[in-house]
Amino acid sequence: MHTLNDFTFDTLVLRYRQPLTGAAYHLCGDREAACDIVQDTLVDAYRGFAGLREPEKAGAWLYAILRRKVIGYRRSRRPEVELLEERVVAGPEDAESLVRGIVIEQMLKLAEEDREILAGKYLLGLSYKELADSLGIKEGAVRVRCLRAKERLREILRGAGVKVPEKR
């Protein structure tokens, strides 16, 4: 087992596997590919774990690896072979999952850049600073991109007939 003081690779996987999978799905729009991308991300993370000096930055570090994997996936994908994916929607007994499923479905209509910002911020829970470091841009730019992406998502949700609360 790899260890970095009290922070182990197993701890990293337990904390980030699910958010990484959600982020990968938002970035590529394919559940199976998202799982493969996360697996590849974790393999690279395992190999580089000993070099991680600041465990508090693990989320941003993993997101940077994930983004590279998604970019590689997009480059290797052949658009002419793209198949429609069957979407799984939660049952009506789980209202929160149903709402999450609707938002996820509509998020796929956003531009790649918008999905990337929202996935990092809200699925992985990265701070604006961590996102800025991960994306290689200024923190102010991340804030602006996040605000604009949220507004575009609101517009898409309204267009799909979802009643969206007004901005706070």
Domain ranges (residues) in the chain? 3-159
pTM of the model: 0.63
Query: What integer pLDDT is reported at residue 36 of this predicted model?
Result: 94
Give burial (CB, 10 Å; 0-12/13-18/19+) of 100: middle
Can you give the pLDDT of all 168 residues of the chain as single tens digits?
444 456 788 998 999 999 999 889 888 888 899 999 999 999 999 999 988 888 888 998 999 999 999 988 888 875 433 433 334 444 445 666 666 667 777 888 888 889 889 888 888 888 999 999 888 899 999 999 999 999 998 888 888 777 777 765
Fold adopted by 3-159: Butyryl-CoA Dehydrogenase, subunit A; domain 3 (1.20.140)
